[in-house]
Structure formats: C-alpha cells, structure tokens
Structure 1
C-alpha cells in the first residue's frame, strides 16, 4: 500500500480581495481587462520571450493553482492570465484541458460550519472555494450532491434546517470555470435525506423526508439548461434514501439497512424512458450495505461492515462478490463518502484522509469466464493537519 504525504500549504481558489485604502482595486481591475492582454500582445510583448503565444499559453495553463499568486508578479500579461480564476479556467476549457479535482463537502465537528474543500488530484494539494449561499443552521447529511464531471458543474439540493427540523427545497449550482455559486429554481417539494442522480444530463431526486420526518414517495427532475423542475411518477412506496446510484440509465434507490438487520431494507428502481418505478431485486437491496459507485458498468459498494471490504454486484445471479484485495485502509475512518472516475475509486474519511482504490480491468471480451473478477489495491493520501476537524458528507470528481 503506497502512502503519499500531502503538504499542509494551502492556496485559496476564491478571488483575492484587496484593501481599497491603498487604491489597488482599480489597478487590479484594469490589469484583468481582456482588452489589455490583446493590446500587450499587439505590442509584441510575449507571454514567454522566444515562444509563440499559443505555445506559451499551453505551458502556462498547466501551472498548478497554488503557484498562481507567485506567477501574477511576473508581468502584466501573466497577471491578466492568473489574476482571475474564471479567466484561467475558461482558457483551459478552450484548450480542452481536463484535470481531475475532488470536491469534498464537509462540516467542522465542533462548530458545525459547512465547508467545501477541493483536492487537486494531479498535484495532491488542497484548496477552498467560496461558501455556499445557504443558512448556517443546517444538517450537512440532509443535502444531496450530484455532478456533471466533464462540464465542471456541481448541484447541491434539499437539506434540512436543523434548528427547526424543517426540510429545504434549496438548489445551488457551482461552476468550476466561474468559481461561483448560483441559486437555481427551487425543487417542487422540500425534502431531506433523499435519493438523487444524473441521467442524460438531467437531475433526478426522489423520496426523502418531509416535515415531521414523514417519508415521501414523490419524485421530480430538473432540466439544468431550462432551470425548471417537473414531477415524474411517484415511487412505489414512501422511502427516505440511504444511498442511490445510476446504473444502465436507471436510478437505483436503497432505503438502507440497520445493523443487525432488524428490518428487511426496501429498494426501488426508476426507468426515465418508461417513467416507471419497480421493486429492486432482493439480492441487490439486501446486499447493498455501504456507499456505492458505478465502474465498468458494475455497481461497487464500500461496505461499512464485513471488514470494510469492497464488493461488486452480479446482475446475472442477483448476488454480491467480494473484490480481491485488502480492505479499506484503517486510516480511513467512518463516516466516509465515495466517488470514482475511470478505474479509480476515491474514499474520503474523517479528517479528510483519502484512500484511492485502483481497480483492475475486468475480464477481456471473448473470455470464457462467465463472471468478471475484479481486484483492488489502495493508495493513502494523508490530509494536512489543518483539516483534522472536518467530517465529510459528500465527494464529487469534477474536471477543470
């Protein structure tokens, strides 16, 4: 198992604010004017002397975020490029640069303050983004977060006001290229502890708790382009969701389980094509004992019991198989949250320590083996001491 020590140095992503008493705000504004960059270019002032600007830009757009403050001091053109995160990431998008960033929604275990921390998965450095525009007295676990990774977009929905135990219909949108939160149209129904997922770019939410902790059976969908919600078919039963996943174009919702199993967990599956819900297969719902991700068109679960092993669901036999390899590293303490990309699964535990699970490729096509076998090996990334008071609620991979 490989361990990586992360530097405790942090550089904020949010925009720098300058004191007006020194008259620097106007200077900064003029230096960030796009027309100035064009004017300097026309004068022959190169981004990097001796290199064409298109080549130089390819180099500079790869500079890590924590080095931007230093780079701004080089010259006016560098200040223009590195002085605005929106401008920098917009230019990266134009050049089709896509680096992975892990966005972690966490709360301080003593103050309860909500925070978003961002881990650059290339440089393994932590950063911050602006605070969400929501009230302070909220339960972090009541929110649901979904993302569209390649668009660099994150949605935060619902929640519950902990001071009055009242569910919320809040919807917030964060865009990496703008480093900015937008308040979207509210959900039709206020809900907390519900299921959520993105199918074909549409945001689906279902079930959850309403006022007085009454479970819901309603569901709705958001069209992010239009910014409008509409109702879809009600679920077959009232469910407050423990976990959810999107597999083969369908939304899988599990009620969850209690240890030991005092009650049999319920589960529902939604097909957006037919706008219909059906009961989840018995083996699938009874073996779903942890937090899920979808990789290789298979549902994986990081179990919260069973020695915290990783397991995968076999649709043909309606059963779960243990993934070969060691259990989740002991440094990753519950509660934890998970996400994945490509062949890696990211598990963020208490104090924001991270385990990266490298999943082996499944059986090649044409193999005589009917059931694909997977294996995992873990890499641990220790978070800096400054994050030791944080507990994660959600983690999402975005590209920027």
Structure 2
C-alpha cells in the first residue's frame, strides 16, 4: 500500500473513509497496514469522529447471558458442580438505532463478568475509549473480588488492571469523572458499611486513596455532575437497608468532600435508578412506578416532580439513563426475572410525555446488573 492510506485517494478523502469505520471493526483496521494502525491510534481519530458527528451514544450493559436470562437479578441457579452458574457478559445498546452488540468474553475459565461489578467509561489521555469493570463477586464462589478489567475498543480485547486496594468492598458507588474512575462507600466482607474512597487512573494503571466520606454509605449511587463525583444515598451499618436521602460530592480540583444537601432524594428511597442529565442540570429516578425529574442538582429549593408513569412491563427497573439528545432511557421488566424491555421518553414543553417501546431481542433479554453511558 506504500505510504498512502488508501491507494488512489487523496489523504483527506481516505481519512474521511477511515473515520466511518464501525467501532467493532477497529481491531481489524489496525491489522490492515501500519498506516491504518497509526491513523486509528492517533489522538485526532476520535476527535475527527466527533467533529463529523459520527460518534454515537451507547449504553454499556452488564447483562445475563441468554440461557440464564430467566434466573433474575441474582441468577440463583446451581451448576452440576454444585456452585452458582451465573454468567454475565458486556453488551452495547444503541438506544436510538435499537442496536445490540455483544462484546468479547471476559478473560478467565467462565468468561463471565463478576456479579454485581461496577462499570465506568473513560477517555484516556491518548483519546482511546475504555470500559472499566471494578470489583464484584466471583461468579463461581460469590466471594468479593478486588479485580479491575479494562476493555479497549481500539484493540477489541480485555486486559487486567491494578487490583483495587482493600478492604474488598461490595455494592459501592462508582463513576468516571475527568478520565478517572472514582469509588466510594459500600461494605466490607464483614458487612460493615464504609466511608473510604479511592480514585483509579487507567492511563497510569494506579489507585490513589481519597479523603473519607462524611458518613458511612452502603449501596450508594454515584453520578458524574459538573466535573464532580456525586455520591447519593446509602445507609450506615446499624441501619441495614434504611436508606438516607442525603448526598455529598468530591471535587477533584480541591480534593475535598462537601455535603450537597439533606434530602436530595426521599429518605428510605433506594438511589439505584438515579441518573443525571448534566447538560440540562437535571436528575431523574424511578420511584413508586413513576419517572420523576428534578431541575437543579445543587439547588436546595428544587423538588422532584412526576414526569410519567413507567409502563408496567418495565417497572422492575434495572437501568435509568439519559442520552445527549435529551431522551430518558428506562430498561426493565414486569417482574424479577422477566424479559427486559427498553423504553425511551423525551420531555417537550407543552406536550404530554409518551414512551417509545422497543422489546429486547430474545438473545438480549437477560437481566441487567450494571450500566453506564458512553459515546463511541
């Protein structure tokens, strides 16, 4: 192929062709020639895709494999060896085009993602997009793990990251802010709620300790809002499931925690379905069968308002997310263990909110344990 990207085409035209390659074909592109490899790995490649409007929002989902989809959230089946037979994989959903794409299996004998792992998407300093999977339970033993795995879209492969420092925690808050993955709260192996927090730098493959939260928070929810790591809800060790409605945020610029306000959400409400639309300074959550919205994340006077009832076949909600075009995505089922259905809703002034329904194909109908938004 000489030194030309595509023989016979001007350089700028060839580059226009290459930036239109689907994310799933990038590993193949890198193997075609040294010129294509250098182009796909260049910091400008993803920038050009964004400038041309070719990047698309997608939801990365930790989803039960098809043959175990009926097992429900914990997948409490038994294998022939007597141990749990849970198996989860990574799936990408393009909610606008209703396209589902499985990613390669996780390394290891089972090929399964850890149960109850946490998930974040980050852009590296080199412009590369990565999915980072943190912690969770071993799918065979159900023991908490400190594992970190990264999926590189450019190579189409998983690799191990540095283990998360102890104690081994479960059901912690996790979100990506500014190219780093932040972790806070959860509980240790003795079921003690935690205040400790950590930050992971995928570029350096290194963890750093952060100041402690102001209070213990088991099963909190993490959001990335305005360049800050927001931790919502959770409960201390003595409360055992009685959620608080308070929230606090970590500012990477000052390396300090600050309370957001008391009662960001209703006391007793599980924060699992909380999500943020940062561009609109808005939060959403599902509670008592309704989608609720709150304008002004940090405003003490803001109140939650009902937007629309969630359809009955999605009220057992696993995922609530926003996408950049302003729509809200809800993925859920009618009961625990039911097939997943995807609904999208766009709020428009002066118009009643209405849901657009898209049942998941049978091979993608399994329960979703974790999700995050990314653009690819």
TM-score, normalised relative to structure 1? 0.69
Q: 1:316 aligns with which of 284, 287, 299?
A: 299
Q: Deviations over 1:241-273 (max 9, x none)?
A: 23121223332223448xxx9845154413334
Q: Distance in 2 between matches of 1:188 and 1:93?
A: 32
Q: Distance in 2 between matches of 1:139 and 1:293?
A: 23
Q: Distance in 2 between matches of 1:145 and 1:255?
A: 19
Alignment match, 2:370: 394
Alignment match, 1:222: 200
Q: 2:46 aligns with which of 93, 96, 100?
A: 93
Rate the CA distance shift 1:174–1:63 in 2: closer, same or farther, 3 A: closer
Deviation, 1:284, is 0.5
Rate the CA distance shift 1:355–1:38 in 2: closer, same or farther, 3 A: farther
SS at match of 2:46: helix
Deviation, 1:139, is 8.6
TM-score, normalised relative to structure 2? 0.72
Q: Distance in 1 between matches of 2:47 and 2:254?
A: 37
Structure (1/2) with the larger helix percentage: 1
Deviation, 1:231, is 0.7
Count, aligned residues: 329
Rate the CA distance shift 1:192–1:222 in 2: closer, same or farther, 3 A: same
Question: Is the Cα–Cα contact under 8 Å of residues 222 and 229 in structure 2 kept in the other structure?
Answer: yes
Rate the CA distance shift 1:317–1:216 in 2: closer, same or farther, 3 A: closer
Q: Distance in 1 between matches of 2:111 and 2:206?
A: 27
SS at match of 1:214: coil
Q: Distance in 2 between matches of 1:355 and 1:38?
A: 49
Do structure 1's residue 116 and structure 2's residue 72 form an aligned pair?
no
Rate the CA distance shift 1:378–1:120 in 2: closer, same or farther, 3 A: same
Q: Distance in 1 between matches of 2:360 and 2:286?
A: 22
5+ residue gaps, structure 1, are 1-36, 362-372
Q: Distance in 1 between matches of 2:176 and 2:22?
A: 30
Question: Is the Cα–Cα contact under 8 Å of residues 289 and 301 in structure 1 kept in the other structure?
Answer: no
Deviation, 1:159, is 0.9
Q: 2:122 aligns with which of 136, 139, 148?
A: 148
Do structure 1's residue 211 and structure 2's residue 198 form an aligned pair?
no
Q: Distance in 1 between matches of 2:276 and 2:345?
A: 13
Q: Which stretch has the larger CA shift, 246-255 or 130-139?
A: 130-139
Question: Is the Cα–Cα contact under 8 Å of residues 231 and 247 in structure 2 kept in the other structure?
Answer: yes
Rate the CA distance shift 1:107–1:255 in 2: closer, same or farther, 3 A: same
Deviation, 1:348, is 2.2
Do structure 1's residue 327 and structure 2's residue 309 form an aligned pair?
yes
Do structure 1's residue 166 and structure 2's residue 143 form an aligned pair?
yes
Q: Deviations over 1:35-65 (max 9, x none)?
A: xx447x69x965xxxx757536635754667
Q: 2:175 aligns with which of 188, 197, 201?
A: 197
Rate the CA distance shift 1:140–1:334 in 2: closer, same or farther, 3 A: farther
Rate the CA distance shift 1:88–1:125 in 2: closer, same or farther, 3 A: farther
Q: Distance in 1 between matches of 2:172 and 2:241?
A: 22
Q: Deviations over 1:71-107 (max 9, x none)?
A: x9xxxx9x949xx9x8996596374241233221112
Alignment match, 2:331: 348
Alignment match, 2:230: 252
Alignment match, 1:26: none
Question: Is the Cα–Cα contact under 8 Å of residues 193 and 242 in structure 1 kept in the other structure?
Answer: yes
